[in-house]
């Protein structure tokens, strides 16, 4: 049997989870949750908070993180 190649180009990306934003959301929130999971809320380039290498937070978790640092 031969292998199968699946092209992901053109795969539909979800819309940004920020209300009233309808842009494509190529990022997922990496904020840690209980049980070793992450938020995974879809976020667009304009609404993501880049907080480290390969780590982005959605606006609510970015605000929460800012409050934790104060």
Res. 3: pLDDT tops 60: yes
Is residue 30 within 8 Å of 38, Cβ to Cβ?
yes
Q: Return the pLDDT at 70.
A: 55
Q: Taking the domains of the chain in order of start, what are their residue ranges? A: 27-69
| Mean pLDDT score, 26-39 | 96
Question: What pTM value is reported for the model?
Answer: 0.78
Confidence of residue 13 (pLDDT cuts 50, 70, 90): confident
Is residue 67 within 8 Å of 56, Cβ to Cβ?
no
Q: Which DSSP state fits 9?
A: T
Of the chain, the percentage scoring pLDDT greater than 90 comes to 73
Distance CA(52)–CA(31), nearest Å, equals: 11
Q: Return the pLDDT at 67.
A: 85
Query: Which helix (H) or strand (E) is 65 found in, with range?
Result: helix 59-69
């Amino acid at each position: 049997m031969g292998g199968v190649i699946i092209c992901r180009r053109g795969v539909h990306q979800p819309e940004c989870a920020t209300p009233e934003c309808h842009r494509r959301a190529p990022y997922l929130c990496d904020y840690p949750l209980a049980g070793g999971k992450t938020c995974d809320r879809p976020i667009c380039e304009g609404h993501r908070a880049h907080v480290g290498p390969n780590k982005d937070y959605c606006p609510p978790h970015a605000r929460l993180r800012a409050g934790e640092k104060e």
